[in-house]
Amino acid sequence: MTVPKKNPDVRFARPYMVRIQAEGFFAADMHFHTTHTDGSVSIPSLVRRIRKNGAGCAVTDHNEVSGALAACREGAGELIIPGIEISSSDGPHILVYFYSPGDLEDFFVRHIREHRRESPWMLTTLTSSEVLKAAEGYACLKGPAHPYGYLLFNSGLAKCIEKGYIDESLYGKCDLIEGICANMARGENLRAVSLAARLGLPVTGGSDGHVIFDLASSVTCTTSSDPAEFLDELKGGRAKVIGRENHLGSKMLTAAVITTRFMPWLLPSAKIHCERLGGRMSRFLSGRREKENSRCRERDE
C-alpha cells in the first residue's frame, strides 16, 4: 500500500529538525504523555528537550490536563499546544487540541473531570459521541487518536466503526485524523492516511510517546511557531506530516513504563479490562446469533 495521492505532504521518514527548519517549517509532536498520567517524562524535562531539539509538542495526557497546563506555563514562548486524550466508554480515544490553556481547563472541569472512572487515566463514562459534542463549544480541533489501534483494544474510532460498534456518521464531528502514530504499525498508519483522504480531513503526526526518546519521532509541520496559528494552518490543510513507526524495543519500553505507572490503579484497571472483554464477547455472540437468525430466515423463505 502507498500513501494516497491526495495526501502528498505525508512522508514516512525520520524527522530531522535541521532539514525541517531549513525548509521554513516548524514541527510539533501532536501526541505525547507525561508523568501527570502514564508517561515517564516530567514537564521540566520535556520543556528542556523542546528547547534543545527545536521540535514543539502537544501534551495530551489521558483524561487529565495538569501536565498540559504546566507545560504551557513553563514553556512560554515555545510551540506547546494544550491538549488532552480522552478515553471514551465505547472504546475510541479522542484527541482534542485547544487554542488556549484556559479553554482546555474549562473543558476539563466542565465535561471530563467528574466522568473519570476508578482508574482515572484509563476510562471515562462518556461515549465518543458525547466527547466530540462537548468539545464543539470551544475553539479547538478534535479527532481520533490511532484510528485503527490498538491490538486487542478497540481504542481506535475507525476500528470500532468497521466492527459496527459505532455509527460512521461520527466522522462528521471530527476535524482531523491522526495519520502517522509512531507506536502503531505501518499498515495501520497507511489505512489512517487513506481514511483522512476519503473524508477530506487534515492529517496529524504524533509519537504517542511515553518516554523522552520517542518525542518527535512523528511530527506535524506548519510555517508558524505560534500555537494558535499552528492550529489554524493545520485546520486549513496546510500542514505536512513526517514520521515513522518506533522500533520494537521502544514499544516494549513504552509498555513497561505504562504498566509501572498504572500499578496504583491495578485492581480498578483489571475490573475495567474485564468489563470491556465482557462487552466484546457480548457483541461477538450477538453478531453470531444475528447471522444465524438471518440464515434461518433465508432458508425458510
Q: If you ran DSSP here, which 8-state letter would residue 4 be given? A: -
Whole-model pTM: value is 0.89
Rounded to whole angstroms, the maximal C-alpha distance in the chain is: 71
For 32-42, write each residue's pLDDT tens digit. 999 999 999 99
- Parallel, antiparallel or unpaired: strands 203-206 and 56-59: unpaired
Residue 132 burial (CB < 10 Å; 0-12/13-18/19+)? buried
More confident site: 113 or 153: 113
66-74 vs 43-53: helix crossing angle, rounded to 10: 50
Cα separation, 110 vs 115, in Å, equals 10
More confident site: 193 or 296: 193
Give the mean model confidence (pLDDT) for residues 185-202: 97
Q: If you ran DSSP here, which 8-state letter would residue 105 be given? A: H
Cα separation, 157 vs 144, in Å, equals 6
DSSP helix/strand/coil, 194: helix
By residue count, the chain amounts to 301
What region, left, alpha or beta, does residue 180 occupy, with left being phi > 0 and alpha being psi -120 to 50 degrees? beta
Do 97 and 81 meet the contact criterion of CB atoms below 8 Å apart?
yes
More confident site: 6 or 208: 208
Q: What is the pLDDT of residue 192?
A: 98
Give residues with Cβ within 8 angstroms of 24, minimum separation 6. 223
For 249-299, write each residue's pLDDT tens digit. 999 999 999 989 988 888 887 877 677 666 655 555 555 556 555 565 556
* Distance of alpha carbon 300 from the chain centroid: 47
The upper half-sphere exposure of residue 171, i.e. CA atoms within 13 Å in the direction of its Cβ, equals 20
